[in-house]
Amino acid sequence: MIRSLEWVIERTTGVLVRPGGEINSANVPLLWSNLRAMREDNLNVILDLKAVPSIDSAGIHALLDAYQLFVQCGQRLVLAEPSPMVRTALLEIAGLQDAIPVFATVAEALVSFRSSSVPAA
């Protein structure tokens, strides 16, 4: 059974988005449309992944595409607090540690928004 992707959005130094549920090919369109709307509103986004138990290759590609779109528009999209399984999928399997900034905590991601650089954790 595919669990839908739920969203909690908080305004901070940018926008803190807390999706809950699996990110997979079934709900990538929802992920993409939400991130695109934030990009169109000129918002910088922290995507808090702690409530995302898994992500498939379609989800990884969607995050990478969204990140590239944000960068092209002069905005920021960073990832924070990935679960161990998601961290493994993103960093070790997909090798995205050099592509998308990933922070161990939301607090570290918020600090990155206040600084001029975006180091990956």
pLDDT above 80 (res 51): yes
pLDDT range class, residue 2, cuts 50, 70, 90: very low
pTM (2 d.p.): 0.82
Please tell me the number of Cα atoms within 13 Å of 118 on its side-chain side: 20
Strands ordered across the beta sheet of 77-80: 9-11, 15-17, 45-48, 77-80, 102-103
Higher pLDDT, 28 or 98: 28
Is residue 86 within 8 Å of 60, Cβ to Cβ?
no
The whole-number pLDDT of residue 90 equals: 76
Mean pLDDT of the chain: 82
pLDDT range class, residue 121, cuts 50, 70, 90: very low
For each of the domains in the chain, give its residue range(s) and CATH number, in order of start: 9-114 (3.30.750.24)
Mean pLDDT of the region 43-61: 90
Distance CA 93, CA 98 (A): 13
Please tell me the number of Cα atoms within 13 Å of 115 on its side-chain side: 9
The whole-number pLDDT of residue 1 equals: 32
Distance CA 83, CA 81 (A): 6
pLDDT range class, residue 52, cuts 50, 70, 90: very high
> Which residue has tokens 């050099």?
98
Residue 51 sits at the vertex; the CA angle it makes with 50 and 52, to the nearest 5 degrees, is: 95
pLDDT above 50 (res 119): no
The whole-number pLDDT of residue 77 equals: 92
